[in-house]
Structure 1
Amino acid sequence: MRTDFNAVEIEIARNRLASIAEEVGMALIRTSYSPNIKDRRDCSAGIYGPDGELISQAEHIPLHLGLMPTLIANVITEYGAENLRPGDVLMTNNPYLGGSHLPDMCVITPIFVDGVIIALVATMAHHVDVGGITPGSMATHATEIYQEGVRVPPVRLFAAGELQRELLSLLLMNIRTADKTRGDLMTQVAANRLGERRILELVEEWGVAGFARSARALITYAERRTRAAISELPDGTGSFTDHLEHNGVDEEQIPITATVTVTGGEITIDLSASSGQVRGAVNCSYAVTRACAAYVVKMLADPTLPSNAGLMAPISVVTRPGSLVHAEFPAPVAHGNIQTAQRIVDAILGAFEAFTEGLVPAASSGSMSMVTVGGIDPRTGRYYSYVETYGGGQGAYPDADGASAVHTHMTNTRNTPCEVIEREYPLRVEAYEIARGTGGAGRSRGGDGLYRRLRLTHGEAIVVPGTSRVTTFPWGLDGGADGTPALVEVHRTAGSEQLPSLSRVDLEAGEGISIRTAGGGGYGKAE
């Protein structure tokens, strides 16, 4: 049996499998119901081995892509591969198994040949509501996971090809936007089935053994390349502490400390000195932290490294269970990936900066800056949920300015077009523009943030704005200026009021909310 593949064969296998993952993701996007997936593309897709080992991913959202291998491996272990049958489809959103937050539902389809699982295809998508104390299921002030929505253990949505209607009815009974959620779940199932067909077509061509050898060759190749890329980095150790400014309930300086050690072709990233888990919804799962580590290493060592299980082989991630970066039950986690993941990235980058030169960029806006607006539209009598993350300023590089009004680091979604917002929701977009001058000055200038202002046109709504860097600054490097902080305001008839970075407000028709995201830090002294 051949175990070696030449460079041409590896490249063919890599592209064949990547194209399947991309096709699965595009099918999900094109057939979804909610603007959050259809327009914003808040979803990801990948192909995995029978035990959950990552084989290939689409180029979607770094956070989803980085945590899905941990989640899927844990799901298969907990549910038991021996309990799966052809036609089964699993779903879960449990953050303590490796998920991110409850709106991110993962749907997993095992692929069988002659009664044996040869691979898994999985999609993750952010659903616009999964219950909880606020529309959109993104309450910042939740103090336990039960307030955030319906937590789904690994269960069969389909059993032997049959939809489990009672299970789905129970789930949808607890969700405000049941029609959108049902449609998006079925879209995930259909996209996975497309991936299953494509993989079986590949198996017809390569054979089961050939498919398995190709997957193993790709993982081995990725590990070899990753070790080689890491060995080009300077050996050394660095530590850095950055802070979140709000725990979701109260303003509080919450430390996230990263210590990075590079030795030869291996890296250890230790976040065990970070804060314990906090009262509000900014805690995150270990899988989120692991995703951040993988992202930073790929970003700094070689952005062209293949994204499969081989990438993580030389990377050790150390955390402390029960901490902000390794939350345990019943800690709330809704904004852990929205806020904390971005700060974990900043802390790891700061640690690398301590023993490298000209490698690390200045800090970016530091948040995915999510705004949710939800309630009952009096024109239809039905619940709606507007969910969107906003771009900000990218940190400058030694030789390049940062981009303006873009998603950075762990997020990679598009925006919701203004026309779609006004068609789908009782909202008017009164302003949507680049926040000029918010990027930090320097030899290379930080990118500017963005400004969006929404006004409620009908009824009443609950708004949950969540950003960061309102009371802190995206840091500059090598003499570059810090970026301008973010600003959140509620606009009422009597005037405007500034809000903290994480909050919840009630709006009546005619009132509005605005957010200006932070600018990126500058690099080097301005000449």
Structure 2
Amino acid sequence: MTEHATSGETRIDPITLGVLGGAFQAIGLEMGHALKRMAYSPAAQQVEDLGGGLFTADGREICESDTTPMHIGSIPAYIQGFMRRLEGNVNPGDIIIHNNPYHGASHSPDLCVAIPIFDPAHPNELLAWSASTIHLSDTGGVFPGIAIDVHDVWAESKIYDSLKLYENGVRNEQLWQFFIDNTRTPSYVIGDTEAMIAAGKLGEKRFLGLLERYGRETVMDAVEEFLDYCERMMRAQIEAVPDGTWEAEGWLDDDGRNRGEPLYVHTKITIEGSDITVDLSKSCDNVPTGFNVPFGGSVLPGIYTVIRSVFLDEATFTDFIPQNDGIFRPIKVIAREGSIFNPEFPRSALSRVCPILRASDAAIQALAEVVPDRVAAGSSSIGVGVYTGYIPEKSEYWVHVEINEGSYGGRCGKDGIDAIDVLTVNSRNTPIEETDWLFPLRTERYELRDVEPAPGQWRGGIGIIRSNTFVEGGAFTSETDRAYEPPPGLFGGGTGHTLRLYRIDPEGAEHPLESKQTNYSMDAGSTLVWEQACGGGYGDPLRRDPEAVLRDYLDEFISADGAREGYGVVIDETAEAVDAAATERLRAQRGGNR
């Protein structure tokens, strides 16, 4: 922490500082909009599986797009990763591509495109980076798109480590051709990569515009002031919490190969003054499949995001709190080398989202004792589905990357959010019209799962059910979890529902599937059904407002029997109203029996 970060003094007048802070935020948002508008794949256009922003010369985040934290938060590790090989050998006009998961990448399908920004008055002096990432639909691994059961890092993807796609403004045509020749979906990959180049140039242009208008010293001082300001804000919130250590644990279904062997996840959180340490070292060893998590590119941004959401939720503050490196400084993350959260080379770390979501959820559960009003009950995982097939007339594959939404657990004062990406992801869904239009798939059903939510003073959220029928033969890969351990309730709330994944064959027979599948063949007319896990409840269900229970009944979330059994609320089905006297008697009886 810098000296002026402690004092709170600034070297710039507050008005100029505020203007530049807003300008930084606007640049990040504009880069995100450019990525979404110019990208070619539905995963980028609709799902927003992307991110971008500005970063200091040594990789500290200045500003970011309002998209997926796992993308933007990983870029500092990307920059550190490729600069360790380039050793500072970057020049104006260079454009670097990088996707090595052992040197910063969030995982190998997430390609980073980075453009160095130099001081116009001193062309040899690197000031900052304009960088972005997009999850590319295919990067040339052993299976199309994503795979769970892969042997090592070389099997998961082609690795592009610290390569200059452009050098001094000139594109390396041989590298570009090699890059395009090693994807099954060149149309999407070309469009998405060029979108990242355009967004990077936009960020560079906007930052240079600030330098021209306000001067280098003022702009660079403003960068440091805002990083220090966010650090002060984060530290103040952590310091307000008592010192101590809290732990939580859980289990992942399996590694996608060794069925019936759950994987242990353990999170320990220690607060000392204004510092917080998240230790994942007791979690299981790394696994022989791709179900591991890159430390710098995914573990760090995942934990940073969930800790910020607990301690510095910008929705509860009137002050402007941008997302930047200052927020990360008070957080230390530890993961034992050789564990699932810090795998040993050359283990694959391709399908990393479910483990980091499980660790993030455990971090929230660990903090429930000390900040119960800021946490949620157990949340579900998301489901990443990759659908694929071959297009002979184009000599390329179609690959559809689809996010199946889960749900949050209930939290103090509010029910769990239904049908949403959870914790560290923040992706959107692909409209069913676009799926049916672009791919040989038909969406037969897409709605809230028809189960009753976990009861609580604030009920758990409900995940989605989605049925996709293959019009032509193809295959799918599923990356999801929570088929065996349901999201837990908090403070007396009920347990959520587990995941269901199954195939319906053309004759209508149902075949249960494990949560993780790699390139599973699907005949024409077969249907894949996702029923995502549902979040846990928060608080004693007998304390839920009877009128809220009635609303859930009228909205067909629960039945009259569910109201009675789950909440001790008696509903007059004819009058569609709460029977207050009967409810009071039943709740008194239930309370006395506890």
Secondary structure of the residue aligned to 2:147 is coil
2:300 equivalent to 1:290: yes
What CA distance in whole angstroms lies between the structure 2 residues aligned with 1:87 and 1:443? 58
Offset at residue 438 of structure 1 (A): 4.8
Q: Deviations over 1:224-270 (max 9, x none)?
A: 11111111223211111111111121232211111111122111111
The residue that corresponds to 1:91 in the other structure is 97
Q: Deviations over 1:316-357 (max 9, x none)?
A: 111111210112211111211x21110110121122124443
Q: Deviations over 1:417-449 (max 9, x none)?
A: 111111111111111111133531111011100
Task: Select which of 83, 106, 119 maps to 1:100.
Answer: 106
What CA distance in whole angstroms lies between the structure 1 residues aligned with 2:247 and 2:538? 20
Q: Deviations over 1:361-409 (max 9, x none)?
A: 10111x2310001111367554100101111121110211011101111
Secondary structure of the residue aligned to 1:385 is strand
The residue that corresponds to 1:193 in the other structure is 201
Structure-2 change in CA distance of 1:75 and 1:438 (3 Å): farther
Whether the aligned pair in 1 keeps the contact of 2:72 and 2:132 (CA below 8 Å) is no
Secondary structure of the residue aligned to 2:215 is helix
What CA distance in whole angstroms lies between the structure 1 residues aligned with 2:61 and 2:427? 22
Offset at residue 295 of structure 1 (A): 1.2
What CA distance in whole angstroms lies between the structure 2 residues aligned with 1:9 and 1:434? 48
The residue that corresponds to 1:146 in the other structure is 154
What CA distance in whole angstroms lies between the structure 2 residues aligned with 1:12 and 1:243? 47
Structure-2 change in CA distance of 1:6 and 1:267 (3 Å): farther
The residue that corresponds to 1:330 in the other structure is 346
The residue that corresponds to 1:308 in the other structure is 324
The residue that corresponds to 1:58 in the other structure is 65
2:479 equivalent to 1:466: yes
Q: Percent identity?
A: 30
Cα RMSD of the aligned pairs, angstroms, is 1.5
What CA distance in whole angstroms lies between the structure 2 residues aligned with 1:10 and 1:244? 46
Q: Give the TM-score taking structure 2 as reference length.
A: 0.85
What CA distance in whole angstroms lies between the structure 2 residues aligned with 1:269 and 1:512? 41
**Amino acid in structure 1 at the alignment position of 2:247:** S
Q: Deviations over 1:103-139 (max 9, x none)?
A: 1001100011231211101101001111112211x11
**Amino acid in structure 1 at the alignment position of 2:309:** M
The residue that corresponds to 1:259 in the other structure is 268
In structure 2, runs of 5+ residues without a counterpart are 1-8, 315-320, 543-594
2:433 equivalent to 1:419: yes
**Amino acid in structure 2 at the alignment position of 1:101:** H
Whether the aligned pair in 2 keeps the contact of 1:446 and 1:522 (CA below 8 Å) is yes
Structure-2 change in CA distance of 1:440 and 1:10 (3 Å): farther
Q: Counterparts in 2 of 1:244-393, with a 5 A limit?
A: 244-251=252-259, 252-287=261-296, 288-304=298-314, 305-336=321-352, 338-365=353-380, 367-377=381-391, 382-393=396-407
What CA distance in whole angstroms lies between the structure 1 residues aligned with 2:333 and 2:16? 32
Q: Deviations over 1:161-198 (max 9, x none)?
A: 11111111112212100121011111100111111111
The residue that corresponds to 2:45 in the other structure is 38
Secondary structure of the residue aligned to 2:362 is helix
Secondary structure of the residue aligned to 1:358 is helix
Whether the aligned pair in 2 keeps the contact of 1:134 and 1:462 (CA below 8 Å) is no
Whether the aligned pair in 1 keeps the contact of 2:361 and 2:423 (CA below 8 Å) is no
Offset at residue 80 of structure 1 (A): 2.0
Whether the aligned pair in 1 keeps the contact of 2:186 and 2:396 (CA below 8 Å) is no
What CA distance in whole angstroms lies between the structure 2 residues aligned with 1:377 and 1:510? 18
Q: Deviations over 1:11-45 (max 9, x none)?
A: 32221011011111111110111111111111001
What CA distance in whole angstroms lies between the structure 1 residues aligned with 2:394 and 2:432? 21
The residue that corresponds to 1:175 in the other structure is 183
Larger RCO, structure (CA 8 Å, separation 6 or more): 1
What CA distance in whole angstroms lies between the structure 1 residues aligned with 2:348 and 2:382? 18
Offset at residue 3 of structure 1 (A): 5.4
The residue that corresponds to 1:224 in the other structure is 232
Whether the aligned pair in 2 keeps the contact of 1:88 and 1:158 (CA below 8 Å) is yes
Q: Counterparts in 2 of 1:95-174, with a 5 A limit?
A: 95-113=101-119, 114-115=122-123, 116-136=125-145, 138-174=146-182
The residue that corresponds to 1:399 in the other structure is 413
Offset at residue 6 of structure 1 (A): 4.7
The residue that corresponds to 2:502 in the other structure is 489
What CA distance in whole angstroms lies between the structure 1 residues aligned with 2:195 and 2:452? 40
The residue that corresponds to 2:465 in the other structure is 451
Structure-2 change in CA distance of 1:508 and 1:380 (3 Å): farther
Secondary structure of the residue aligned to 1:246 is coil
Offset at residue 307 of structure 1 (A): 1.6
Task: Select which of 1, 21, 25 maps to 1:18.
Answer: 25
In structure 1, runs of 5+ residues without a counterpart are none
Offset at residue 10 of structure 1 (A): 3.2
Secondary structure of the residue aligned to 1:55 is strand
